[in-house]
Structure 1
Amino acid sequence: MRSVISTLSFLLLLTAGVAAQGTDSLFVDVSKVTNGTGTAASPFNKIWYAVNTPRSATKSTIIFIKAGRYTIDSTDFSSQLYIGSANGGASGRYLTLRTYPGDEGKVIIDGSRLATTAFYPNMLVISGANYVRLQSLVFRGLKNTSGYALNIQSASNIQVNNCVFDSLRWTSTTAELGYPTFNNNSNFIQAAYVLNSSTVSFSADTLRNSGLGWGELVRDAGGNSSLTKSSLAENNNTGIAGEYFVSVSGNDTTGSGSITKPWRTVAKAIELAGINYTYAPSILIDKDITINLRAGTHKPSGAGIYIGSNRGTNGRWLTLRNYASENAIVDGSAMTAKFSSLLAISGAKYVKVQGLKFTNVTADSVLQYSSPSPGVKDTRFGIIVSGQSRNIVIRKNAIFNMAWTRTASRQKVPTASDNLNPLVILGTTDTAIRNVIIDSNEVYNNITGYAEAVTVNGNVDSFSITNNIVHDNANIGIVAAGHYKWVEDDASFSVTAPYNYSRNGFIRNNEAYRNISPVAVSAGIYLDGAYNVKVEDNESYWNGTGISIGNEQSNSVSGNHLVQNNEVRENLSAGLFYGSTNSTSWVENCTVKDNTIKDNYVLDSVLRAKANNMYGITSASQRYTEVNVYRLRNSVFEQNTIESLSDIILGLYLTQFGLTFRYNSYYPISESACQAIFVQDKNNDGSIGLPTDSIYFGFQRYAAGTGLDHTSQSEGIGYGQPGCNSGTGRGVTEIAIAAPVENKTVVYPNPARHELTLNIGNSGAPELAFARLYDINGRLVISRKYSLASGINVIRISDLRSGAVKAGTYLLTIERSGVKQTFKINITD
């Protein structure tokens, strides 16, 4: 009894105090069975009565609410809470809803009976009202619907202080709380929603134990002025999920993207995952998003999968990957649109693609005269990154079995307009694509036409291509390119010439093999018009050529590359091409160092068949230079090891200046520096022919004649050291005639007209010797077999001018007991 008397005494004092200050008080106690008059002694039993009781226009009013559960029932208007323009305060006089003293946190506004009918339910609406305060109330239990706990519209001077929003859940299925988009609806509960209002403040309010879906603790719906939030707290809530799932057994309509309700298509996942469509325009949530593809074959339709410029604008990553270790295949066989891509990333930022298998993309020749670009052949893509994209990571994917044509008989005869790109980074605007990582992928078995397997082209600034295996593609393996006019001329692109080149990249620790074009010599790794690219620690073999540092496009300059610590071996032609083959363009300011270049011009009929027999050798005698140098200036070739399967080591073609060749080691097959052959194009026509050009027999003559490699060596013998023609003539000086020595061969006369004499010493048992004469292009014109007796054998070739032998420069090889010697022969009229 004493506690009741004390409480009544306290309330009487409180009432007297507020009355003295010009404030009226009303009281509500839900525990009362009958409704009272709103006094402390006879409180209302529903808040509705207090809000709708006529009040003084000259005083503020406080509605004191007793602890208890105040349930909102859509079928009982008197349980509903609405403060309209006639119910709020005015002119600085507030209507305040608060708890009895000591009942803070115990007044529960309960929305558990509300459900979606013709409208989204509301627990408390303040609409058109002014000067309203809410203090220490708890809004609880709104669930299984979209709706609003507190809805404030067209109001002013609203204060919400120390209130709690508790157990607001758009669904009662706990596993689905983070996946509020399904049935093409965005589900939400807004704890507090503010629209077209002014001077609204939230302070010390808390959201707890809730899953709002696309809702928020305080949603600024727009049209507000002076909406302030301070000291807000959130505890034990379920936010929007960051992990989404796509399954071949999923459903794009009823799915939510959760692991138990996955979507059916990747396109639907990209459309919805992590995007809040309750805003207009939609916004990205502030969280990294992962789309997991479950095991199976996913077949995009139409133009394929598209990730646009809205992704990454929040600085958060979107990852498209396989789930766990499952085998997720992205198959292009259902794409029908011209210029389709299995995955197109255009203008997006912060995108990762990981652990997927991209396959079965084929261009459709039927679409050549279809829109867009009627008359232009269909070109398709595995993965294409374009526009102003940046921060793109493509890692641990397989990209395979793609072809520019479905007709197998045409695959070896592409034209320049026949293209398919398995993986291309293409900068199409004057704002560069930046920060691209291509790492640990396998790209293989693609029929690319004139395109490449892995391409970086156009305006791309900063990229890395690392740890990839690129093999069995029908053209170049990896290329960083620039200055291609078609990139500038394409009507859908806006890049201009000053920006149309890839630059500032790394190509590191890749393995490139069997990348062989059926049309032209194709490199495992190619720098073609790019700038400032470091190529290091790669292995390139069984390609058309190993590494090419070039610049195909006219009137352009590229370079500033560092190519180091690579192993280049067993390719169909030369191991290294260094310089531009275009007579109007240059490669400059490059360094090639610490590479091993060996055993190229490999004799392999299977590889040659892949080249459609367009290049590659058919006999060992056709081997030529390991290193070809073209239009190159102000560049370095140093500390490299070159091992040739013939005696022909290096060729200088077209023109060069400002070269530094030093500290290199050259090893001809004869293991003799005297027999090492170097050729130099002196008249800038790209070919070798006497008397204009130079063929240097012996390392010493080459170094003396070119001024290069004075600090290098061949077979351990440096320039100027005795024993390697160092005391004889230089340049194209003819072979000296000397008395035969045991197991030595002398050829004379030289120049010759109709006959050559071979003095061959044989210190051992009788054996066979093979003499073969080749023109400077490697074509065999004379072949002879001789039986050598012990001692000196004098052999004459007397029919020099018969058949295909014309005046010019030839190479004569003498092979016996597995040892081959090579001589340069001039034949005159």
Structure 2
Amino acid sequence: MRRNIIVFLIAIFLPAIFFAQVEIHITPDGIAVMSDGDAGAQNNPYSLDYILSNASVFFGIATNSSTTTVTSLILHHGANGENFETNKAIFLQNRYNLIVRSADPNNPVKIKAEQNLIQALDGSSTDLLFTIRDSNNIVVKDIIFEGIDITDTNITGYSLVNFGYNDDILIENLTIQNNWGAGGRGLWLFGWGNNTVIRNCLLDNMGWTSQNGDINPFYDTGIDDVDGNPIMSCYGYAGALIQGNENEDSYEDITVENCNFMNLTTGCNEVLTFTGNVKKFQALDNIFQTNTNIGIAIAGHYPTNRDPDTNTPINANLNQARYGIVRGNEVYNSNFARGLYPAGGIYCDGCKDVVIEGNLTQGNDVGISVGCENAGGLSASNVTVINNTIIENPKGGIYIGSFLNDDNVGGTPSTVQNCIIRNNTLYKNGMIAQPNGEVFVNRSENNEFYNNILHMRNNAFGVIAFCDQPFSNFNMDYNLFYRDDEIQNSRINDACIEPNSNLSGNQNSLFGAPTFVDVNSNNFDIQQASAAINTGDPNTQILTTNFLNGFYHSDDITDNELDYGGNIRIFNSVRIDIGAYESIFEPLSVGAFDNSNSNITIYPNSFQTDINIKMVSSYSGTVSIRLYNLQGKLLENITFEKIQESQTEKINFGYISNGLYFIDIKMGNSVEKIKILKQ
């Protein structure tokens, strides 16, 4: 059971309490000073880990409980700019309302591990540099954490920053860097917890080896299997690992945003991983550059996620990262050492109920992959891949399905099912894969693929199905295919499709030029001549805040799904475009804009000052007119009464800037969404 439930329940019914603020200032030479009192004898040396571990002395309280003093431990450079170097693991437990930070966020203090860390005062592990557990309302920010260079792979690397069994944690503006050694980690969240935010952090220059990042991480264990074949293992290093490894409770409400992950040699681990009993997580607007394996991994079914109380794997129904949003990230050059395996920029490996939306993946082995590596009749399911820009990934743009077969997993193969892949833009991927292609389909069932642009290389296929990976119901339609030097719609699907009967669909797909704005500057918005405009599936369902049991949300100012450029998608009165962008060049006549599926006419469109809205229907009552800009921000809300069957209202929008806007016209339970152009 979680601790401190009673304290929390009592506290929420108490009137507001303004706790005292205690600041403890410390320098690398161990001089500690308190802002409201004496930190012991001020001229006596105190190490950083000693101060942190002795709340009763330095915090002025015995328990530092959730209803007492908020304490800030403020780190200063030494007189000559010295940083903290420690040979002791720093461990905090049962702390509340604590802030640990540098005095100057623009000149952060470094906490650096010396070689051969010894145990913290509580006897905690010697490979964890800085750990906080069983605590509430903790802030750690504006600090540099640094490890050491360990080139001997027989030595376990340090795990620099670690949090477990905590609630209400803010990790902000940290630099975690220069840490080498097999099995190490930059940042580790373990156990369970609630409400953790990791923001504006840099993870740089770390890995299982500080030598050439192209070194093969696989090694022979010296043990043979029953057939006499050597059993191989693999070195690894986790950049940031969010691991729910408790059956008792989950790690949930986690946000990783605006962080930069670069130059990480992760071997067989990943750069940012959500795995195990983890739910309601977000990876937002992060940048990944030049790492040696998967950029973002959302994983499930791994037996390494073990409950420490019983040393048994997490229950199967809990051992999947789920209810997650991966949005707005940029992932570049995630490439596995020596090209041994295809590293995905973003990879769902056995996850479920996840939205991968509005990301840019470029130069990775594979742009985005949805698979399930673990055998046993398991699955990745209900993954939605939408509005992504996927360009020049050498082994393919999108992989969907499991590579597993009966003869290579020693058990029942797993699958990928009930996923939607739509409104993505794929550009010249698969330049070194054989055969070359944009999309690869493996063992899977009941998946949808529509409204996607596939701008293929001249010698490449659009969609390739692996011959030895049976799949069913991979439904394709309303896609746009194109290649620069071939106008015919040949080589759309790979001819090698057995034992699959066909790649079904594409009856309404097109072959034509998407007409991007500027591919050289990665601007894959579409121009007015694009064949993608108004040619998507007219029955496309947008994502709303109700998706993922209410966890999905696109933006604070709208509940509409946004395209890659941050503009809202239009589905009711105008047909959706194909690809990641919704064009602003919707064909508009100078006269009436008449939606054939409604009894509403707007004229003139385009306009300079006034528009006329003509409504012909039996409805009588209040009509609401709501004006939005392209980002979905509500600009105006106008209401009036409709009392006649045919009624025209003139509305003055002369005050708005020139450009394209959207209006919602609501009559009773009916809503029409229409574009208008101010010139």
**TM-score normalised by length of structure 1:** 0.47
Corresponding position: 1:392 with 2:191: no
Partner of 1:425: 242
Alignment of 1:156-195 (within 5 A): none
Alignment of 1:299-448 (within 5 A): 301=86, 304-308=89-93, 310-311=94-95, 316=97, 318=99, 323-332=104-113, 334=115, 336=117, 340-360=127-147, 365=152, 379-408=183-212, 411-415=215-219, 416-430=233-247, 431-448=249-266
Give the superposition deviation at 1:324.
3.0
Distance 2:344 2:37 in 1: 45
Partner of 1:63: none
Aligned length: 439
Give the superposition deviation at 1:327.
3.1
Corresponding position: 1:593 with 2:422: yes
User: Using a 3 Å threshold, how does the CA distance of structure 1 residues 298 and 575 change in structure 2: closer, same or farther?
Assistant: farther
Alignment of 1:607-622 (within 5 A): 616=432
Corresponding position: 1:652 with 2:465: yes
User: Using a 3 Å threshold, how does the CA distance of structure 1 residues 307 and 278 change in structure 2: closer, same or farther?
Assistant: closer
- In the alignment, residue 320 of structure 2 is paired with which amino acid? Y
Q: Which has the higher contact order (CA 8 A, sep 6+)?
A: 2
Residue deviations 1:65-91 (CA, integer Å, cap 9, x gap): xxxxxxxxxxxxxxxxxxxxxxxxxxx
Alignment of 1:719-738 (within 5 A): none
User: Using a 3 Å threshold, how does the CA distance of structure 1 residues 298 and 595 change in structure 2: closer, same or farther?
Assistant: farther
Give the superposition deviation at 1:342.
4.3
Partner of 1:522: 343
- In the alignment, residue 573 of structure 1 is paired with which amino acid? K
Corresponding position: 1:674 with 2:674: no
Give the superposition deviation at 1:681.
5.0
Partner of 1:501: 320
Distance 1:626 1:311 in 2: 51
Distance 1:333 1:530 in 2: 38
- In the alignment, residue 591 of structure 1 is paired with which amino acid? I
Q: Is the 8 A contact 1:265 1:300 kept in 2?
A: no
Alignment of 1:145-160 (within 5 A): none
Corresponding position: 1:706 with 2:503: yes
Partner of 2:441: 629
User: Using a 3 Å threshold, how does the CA distance of structure 1 residues 414 and 232 change in structure 2: closer, same or farther?
Assistant: closer
Give the superposition deviation at 1:450.
0.7
Distance 2:455 2:126 in 1: 45
Residue deviations 1:493-538 (CA, integer Å, cap 9, x gap): 7633331121111111111111211031111111111111111111
User: Using a 3 Å threshold, how does the CA distance of structure 1 residues 652 and 409 change in structure 2: closer, same or farther?
Assistant: closer
User: Using a 3 Å threshold, how does the CA distance of structure 1 residues 256 and 477 change in structure 2: closer, same or farther?
Assistant: same
Residue deviations 1:423-461 (CA, integer Å, cap 9, x gap): 111111111111111111111111111111111111111
Q: Is the 8 A contact 1:461 1:502 kept in 2?
A: yes
Partner of 1:797: none
Candidates 251, 264, 271, aligned match of 2:53: 271
Candidates 65, 88, 93, aligned match of 1:283: 65
Partner of 1:531: 352
Residue deviations 1:243-279 (CA, integer Å, cap 9, x gap): 554543543xx44488998997653454356999777
Residue deviations 1:733-792 (CA, integer Å, cap 9, x gap): xxxxxxxxxxxxxxxxxxxxxxxxxxxxxxxxxxxxxxxxxxxxxxxxxxxxxxxxxxxx
Distance 1:673 1:266 in 2: 70
Give the superposition deviation at 1:708.
1.7
Q: Is the 8 A contact 1:304 1:335 kept in 2?
A: no
Q: Secondary structure at the match of 1:267?
A: helix
Give the superposition deviation at 1:469.
1.0
Partner of 2:662: none
Partner of 1:449: 267
Distance 1:551 1:650 in 2: 20
Distance 1:321 1:546 in 2: 38
Give the superposition deviation at 1:709.
1.7
Q: Is the 8 A contact 2:475 2:503 kept in 1?
A: no
Q: Is the 8 A contact 1:257 1:269 kept in 2?
A: no
Distance 1:322 1:531 in 2: 42
Partner of 1:663: 478
Distance 1:260 1:648 in 2: 73
Corresponding position: 1:477 with 2:298: no
Distance 2:206 2:73 in 1: 24
Q: Is the 8 A contact 1:275 1:282 kept in 2?
A: no
Give the superposition deviation at 1:396.
0.8
- In the alignment, residue 592 of structure 1 is paired with which amino acid? I
Q: Is the 8 A contact 1:257 1:273 kept in 2?
A: no
**TM-score normalised by length of structure 2:** 0.57
Alignment of 1:550-565 (within 5 A): 550-555=371-376, 556-565=378-387
User: Using a 3 Å threshold, how does the CA distance of structure 1 residues 279 and 495 change in structure 2: closer, same or farther?
Assistant: farther
Give the superposition deviation at 1:336.
3.5
Q: Is the 8 A contact 1:404 1:411 kept in 2?
A: no
Q: Is the 8 A contact 1:339 1:380 kept in 2?
A: no
Distance 2:126 2:182 in 1: 6
Please tell me the root mean square deviation across aligned C-alpha atoms, in Å: 4.0
Q: Is the 8 A contact 1:544 1:571 kept in 2?
A: yes
User: Using a 3 Å threshold, how does the CA distance of structure 1 residues 709 and 353 change in structure 2: closer, same or farther?
Assistant: farther
Residue deviations 1:4-37 (CA, integer Å, cap 9, x gap): xxxxxxxxxxxxxxxxxxxxxxxxxxxxxxxxxx
Residue deviations 1:578-622 (CA, integer Å, cap 9, x gap): 1222231111121111111112235xxxxxxxxxxxxx47xxxx6
Candidates 510, 513, 516, aligned match of 2:332: 513
Q: Is the 8 A contact 2:84 2:109 kept in 1?
A: no
Alignment of 1:179-258 (within 5 A): 240-241=20-21, 243-251=23-31, 254-256=32-34
Q: Secondary structure at the match of 1:561?
A: strand
Distance 1:339 1:601 in 2: 45
Q: Is the 8 A contact 1:385 1:425 kept in 2?
A: yes
Distance 2:505 2:387 in 1: 21
User: Using a 3 Å threshold, how does the CA distance of structure 1 residues 366 and 541 change in structure 2: closer, same or farther?
Assistant: closer
Partner of 1:570: 392
Greater Cα offset, 654-663 or 280-289: 280-289
Give the superposition deviation at 1:414.
3.8
Give the superposition deviation at 1:571.
1.4
Q: Is the 8 A contact 1:429 1:493 kept in 2?
A: no
Structure 2 gap ranges (5+): 1-13, 119-124, 158-180, 220-232, 406-412, 515-679
Give the superposition deviation at 1:682.
4.0
User: Using a 3 Å threshold, how does the CA distance of structure 1 residues 711 and 403 change in structure 2: closer, same or farther?
Assistant: same
Give the superposition deviation at 1:485.
1.4
User: Using a 3 Å threshold, how does the CA distance of structure 1 residues 563 and 488 change in structure 2: closer, same or farther?
Assistant: same
User: Using a 3 Å threshold, how does the CA distance of structure 1 residues 328 and 667 change in structure 2: closer, same or farther?
Assistant: farther
Greater Cα offset, 347-356 or 558-567: 347-356
Q: Is the 8 A contact 1:354 1:397 kept in 2?
A: no
Partner of 1:187: none
